[in-house]
Amino acid sequence: MPHPTIPLEGAQFLKAETVGLAEPRGFKALGESAERSAKHTAEIAATIPHWQEWREAANQIKSYAIANLDKLLVEFERNVTARGATVLWAADAHEANQYILDLVKEHNVKTIVKSKSMVSEEMELNHALEAVGARPVETDLGEYLVQLARQRPTHIVTPALHLSAADVGRLFQDKLKEPFSAEHQHLTNVARRHLREDFIIADMGISGCNFAMADTGTICVVENEGNAGLSTSAPPIHVVLMGVEKVIPGIQYLPVFLNLLGRSGTGQKLTTYTHLFHGPPPGRKMVVILLDNGRTNVLKDPAARMALFCIRCGACLNACPVYRRTGGWAYGWVYPGPIGAVLTPHLIGLDKAGKLPFASSLCGACGEACPVRIDIPHQLVHMRHRAVNEPSPMNSPMERLTWAVWAWWFSGPKRYRLAMAMVKLGIRMAKILPWHPGKLGAWTRGRELPRVPGGPAFRDWWRRNGAQMKPTSQTEPITHP
C-alpha cells in the first residue's frame, strides 16, 4: 500500500525538538503531569491481582488478531454489514477523506461533531472538511481546546496536557469572547454550553473505534466525557474511523482490554463510558471506514508486527523520559512518544521519519509500562538498524562519511589521543570566543559546553603511575598451583 499522501510536517525529531524547547513553562508542566500519570497507573495496576497475566493475555489475543488480520477483517465486515452498516476500505488518508467528503456532499452536511480519533488526526480530516466549507467540531474537551488554539495534540490520550487552566481561560476569552476565568468548573461549563449547541445542529457524527469484534460486528468506543455518546447518537449519520489493526477475534476478549486500557490510560478501573455499537439504530446511517494508511507496511516486516498491538493508552508516553522533556510536538507527526518513534517511520516512511527511533534513551520504561507487552525498546533498536541500512536521514552520504571518519579516528591509540586533544582545544577556544547560545544549531540552544577537566588524562596518569601500583587484596591475582 502507498504511504499517506497528506503533506506531513517532516517528522524529524532533531529538527522539531526546538518546538518543545521554545515553550519551557508548558512543557515542564507537561512533563510533571505525565510523570504523575505514570505513577498513578503503576499504583492502580498494583491493586489488581494477576496484572502480568492480564498483560500476557492481551499480548496473545493481539498476536492472534494481527496474524489473522485478513480473515478477521472480512469476518467483521460481513457481520457489521449484516447489522445494517456500510463498510468502506481506504488504502490511505486521501481515500478515507474522499469517502467522507462524498457523504458530506450527498447529505448536504454543514456541521460535524467529532469524538476523539487519532485516525482522523492521521487523515488531517479537519483540514479536508474545512476546505469544502463544512464545519468540524472536536467535542472531546482536550481536542476542542487544541482545535480552538489551532494546535496539534501533545498527547494521544490527553491532547491539551500542555495547557494550564489560565491558558484555557485566555483561549476562551480570545476565541469564544467569554469573560476570563481560570476556575476548572467554570471552564468546563463554558465548553459544555458551546458544545451543546453543536450537538443539536450537527448533521454528522464521527467517532474512532477502540476495538472491533469480528464475530459479532460490534464496535467499541470508550470515553470519559459523554461526548462520544452524543456525537454518535444525536446526528443522523455516524461515521466510524477505524485503523485496520483494531479488530479482535471475539467479544469474549473485550474485558481483557477494557481492564487494561482504563488503568493504563488514565489510572481508572474502567473509563466512565463504554459504548458498544451493533449497527445503526432504525432510520440512521452508519458508515465504517477501515483505514490502512501504511499499516500493511508494518505487517510486511515480521520483526515489527508487534507495534500493531498498540491500544493507544498513552502509558509509554507518560513513562518516557524523552517525551516528558520534549512534549508531543517534537515528534513531528500524529503519534508521539516511544510508540510514535516506532510506528511513524512505518506509517510515513523511513525517508521522512528515520530519526525518530533514535529519540529514546532505551531505558526500557516504555516496555515495562505497555499493557499489551509490546517490546518497544527492541522495536526501537530494530527500526534504528533499518534506518541506517535503508534510505533515511540516518543513512545519508554525509552521515556515512561522518561515521567513517569517526571510526578511523577512534580505531588507533595515537589518533584517538590526538582527537581528544583537539576536542579539549576546541572547547577551550569556544569558551574564550564570543559565544551565542544556539550558534551551533538546536543542540546548543538548551545545553552548556562541558567543562574540560584539569590535570592529566587518565591514560597519561596511568602511564606514569600504573606500573608502581600494588594490587589490593581484592585484585590480588590468583596464583594457580
List interacting residues with ligand SF4 (CB under 6 A). Answer: 264, 310-316, 339, 369-372, 374, 376
Q: C-alpha cell of 190? A: 463554558
Q: Strand (E) positions, 115-251?
A: 135-138, 204-207, 211-213, 218-223, 237-243, 247-248
Residues 207, 275: Cα–Cα separation, whole Å: 11
Closest to ligand SF4 by CB, 222 or 376: 376
Q: How many CA atoms lie within 13 A of 229 on its CB side?
A: 8
Closest to ligand SF4 by CB, 137 or 299: 299
Closest to ligand SF4 by CB, 312 or 324: 312
Shortest distance in whole angstroms from residue 318 CB to ligand SF4:
9
Within 10 Å of residue 30's Cβ, how many Cβ atoms? 26
Closest to ligand SF4 by CB, 13 or 172: 13
Q: How many CA atoms lie within 13 A of 285 on its CB side?
A: 15
**Alpha carbon separation from 474 to 135, 246, 478 (Å, rounded):** 75, 58, 10
User: How many helices (H) and strands (E) would you count in the chain?
Assistant: 23, 10
Residue 67 · residue 248 · CB < 8 Å: no
Helix/strand/coil (H/E/C) assignment for every residue in 121-134: HHHCHHHHHHHCCC
Closest to ligand SF4 by CB, 340 or 393: 340
Shortest distance in whole angstroms from residue 90 CB to ligand SF4:
22
**Alpha carbon separation from 181 to 33, 160, 174, 189, 258 (Å, rounded):** 22, 17, 12, 11, 36
Q: C-alpha cell of 37? A: 500519570
Closest to ligand SF4 by CB, 85 or 342: 342
| 446 φ/ψ angles, rounded to the nearest 5 degrees | -115, 15
Shortest distance in whole angstroms from residue 47 CB to ligand SF4:
19
Residues 445, 436: Cα–Cα separation, whole Å: 9
- Which residue has cell 447518537? 233
Closest to ligand SF4 by CB, 112 or 310: 310
- Which residue has cell 483505514? 291
Closest to ligand SF4 by CB, 155 or 355: 155
Shortest distance in whole angstroms from residue 413 CB to ligand SF4:
44
- Which residue has cell 508494518? 298
Shortest distance in whole angstroms from residue 161 CB to ligand SF4:
14
Shortest distance in whole angstroms from residue 335 CB to ligand SF4:
8
Shortest distance in whole angstroms from residue 288 CB to ligand SF4:
22
Shortest distance in whole angstroms from residue 55 CB to ligand SF4:
10
Nearest Cα residue to 6 out of 245, 359, 347? 347
Closest to ligand SF4 by CB, 69 or 191: 69
Shortest distance in whole angstroms from residue 375 CB to ligand SF4:
10
